[in-house]
Amino acid sequence: MNNLPTLQLGHHGPTVSKLGLGCMRMSSIWGGPTPDEAESIATIHAALDHGINFLNTGDFYGAGHNELLIGKAIRDRRDDAFVSVKFGAIFHNGHWIGLDLRPVAIKNFVNYSLTRLGIDTIDLYQPSRMDDSVPVADIVGTVADLIQEGKVRHLGVSEITPTQLREAHAVHPVSALEIGYSLADRQIEADLLPTAKELGIAVVAFANTAEGLLTGNLTAPLPADDYRQAFSRFTGDNLTDNLAKVDVLKDMARQKGCSPVQLAIAWVNAQGDHIMPLVSMSRRSRLPENIAAMQLTFTPQEMQTLNTTFAVGQIAGSTYLQR
């Protein structure tokens, strides 16, 4: 069954589902328990059955566990899946300790990813983030070499600046930009999104619910051991003020007969034909709700209400997306 819209990655790139499956939460990233593997694989299979062919992972998710998991899931369904892999982030004991974007490291990373995934070619390969440790041209040039070798099909980038995006695209055509984007995180609308649109680059938008802020399920204060306590958006008066904004989303969801999560996804989807909501799931039970969100539409008044309530600067406090 496939009634999902599609989008093209770049001017001359492939056509993929306009809803992407983020597989990160199928592995232990921050030292927590690993979700049930059989259910995770069943979720990938169900997503493919419903026409969601864009599978997003990183070679550092669960120290390779995520790639191994996807490899098992697509072993007999390689042609159904479009596999996007991020590289470059280095973790130790569940903690991020830096980036390694040297060409020699990238060439090492890609071979390990291909082996874990059990495939010959990665569909979309992208640095997870860029810093100033290695020139953009060297990073992108290395991926371009891998494309020539047949180990990678398309170049992606993630969490970069407009200047870096232009630099990367000048070296080799960028098919997709992966970036955090939601009603609560709209800072990229000023420059990064227009740059991507100008260059014809598709946008893969993650964190659609802003780390759970837009789910409608949070109450203040958060538990003391909640990792979001590290971000001022989720503490003190900031959280109280932000949840008052979320009440507007909850009220609209009740009026439209859907959930706040669905509205958050639908809003991202409505921002352009070139923008893909990337939704993390590890359970099949979430698929119907998230797929249905892609069919939701907004009246001009509803869109104005959301854009006014969640205008840039209206959500108080910082988040990990603001670096």
**Structure tokens belonging to residue 262:** 């669905």
Measure the CA angle with vertex 148, ends 198 and 142; round to 5°.
70
Q: What's the first-to-final CA gap in the chain, in angstroms?
A: 40
The candidate with the shortest Cα–Cα distance to 256, out of 222, 305, 212, 195, is: 305
Of 61, 112, 181, 227, which is the active-site residue? 61
Task: Specify whether 227 is catalytic.
Answer: no
Dihedral, CA of residue 11, residue 12, residue 17 and residue 23, to nearest 10: -100
Q: Are 318 and 232 in contact (CB under 8 A)?
A: yes
For 257, half-sphere exposure in the C-beta direction (CA atoms, 13 angstrom radius) is 4
Tell me which residue of 192, 179, 173, 205 sits closest to 271, measured CA to CA. 205
Helix %, strand %, coil % for the chain, to 5? 45, 20, 35
- Give the catalytic positions in this structure: 61
